[in-house]
Amino acid sequence: MTDKEFRAKMKKSPENARREVFDEYCSYVYTIVMKKLSRHCCREDIEECVSDVFIDFFRSTDKIGKKNDDLKGFISLIAERRAVDTFRRHIKDYENSTSINEEKFGELASSENIVKDAERSERNAILFEKVRELGEPDSTIIIQQYYFNRTPIEIGETISMTADAVRKRSLKARKKLRSMLADADVSTGG
């Protein structure tokens, strides 16, 4: 959708225009936000960030250019900035909670926990990279299904597929993903 088309749709029906933008760019925004936050934030923080991206977009529609450009660049800029802000806030909150815990307990977490956390984080990064390597629409299906607990019906509505087609693609994608992870010598357990 171009900015010109969006402005025209906003004049006709702001609610429908907003819904259309959300439907068209939701997966794209999730991907940007997940890339920035998947290692550091929980699912709720990521979903809140995605919602904030669309809120920011709808609040700043007057800043959209008067050209006939695609909205994708504008939305991606908002998503990148919002994800960075969320990351910074998360790190600040983490540092504050760590200093409180250190004051309370007087020592850092055991080195065993640090190693396990690092290994889990590295495994999750590899897993997410392999999911992205599946390509579209498989990566979107897996991300929506397992990271955001979406049903096949909800996913199908987002990517214009039937729920049955989503289930079949998901099954094939999971088999391919298991193979890719085995080739990379990555265990998904624990």
What pLDDT, in 10s, does the model give residues 124-178?
Answer: 777 777 888 888 888 888 888 877 778 888 888 878 889 899 999 989 988 988 8
Are 19 and 102 within one domain? yes
Q: What is the pLDDT of residues 4-59, one digit of tens each?
A: 888 788 889 888 888 998 888 888 899 988 888 887 778 888 889 999 998 888 88
When pLDDT is averaged across residues 60-89 and rounded to a whole number, the result is 78
pLDDT of residue 156: 86
Q: What is the CATH number of the domain that holds 4?
A: 1.10.1740.10
Domain tally, the chain:
2
Q: At what angle do helices 14-37 and 72-105 cross, to 10 degrees?
A: 50
Are 65 and 91 within one domain? yes
Task: Specify the pTM.
Answer: 0.48
Residue 2, pLDDT > 80, answer no
Are 120 and 39 within one domain? no
Closest CA to 43 of 54, 56, 33: 33
How far is Cα 114 from Cα 118, in angstroms, rounded to an integer?
6
Pseudo-torsion of CA 51, 55, 58, 61, nearest 10°?
-110
Are 84 and 143 within one domain? no
Residue where a domain terminates, one of 86, 108, 130? 108
Domain housing 2: 1-108
Residue where a domain terminates, one of 85, 108, 131? 108
Are 12 and 103 within one domain? yes
- Cα 49 to Cα 73, 86, 112, 124: the distances in Å are 18, 7, 32, 20
Are 74 and 133 within one domain? no
Q: What is the CATH number of the domain that holds 147?
A: 1.10.10.10
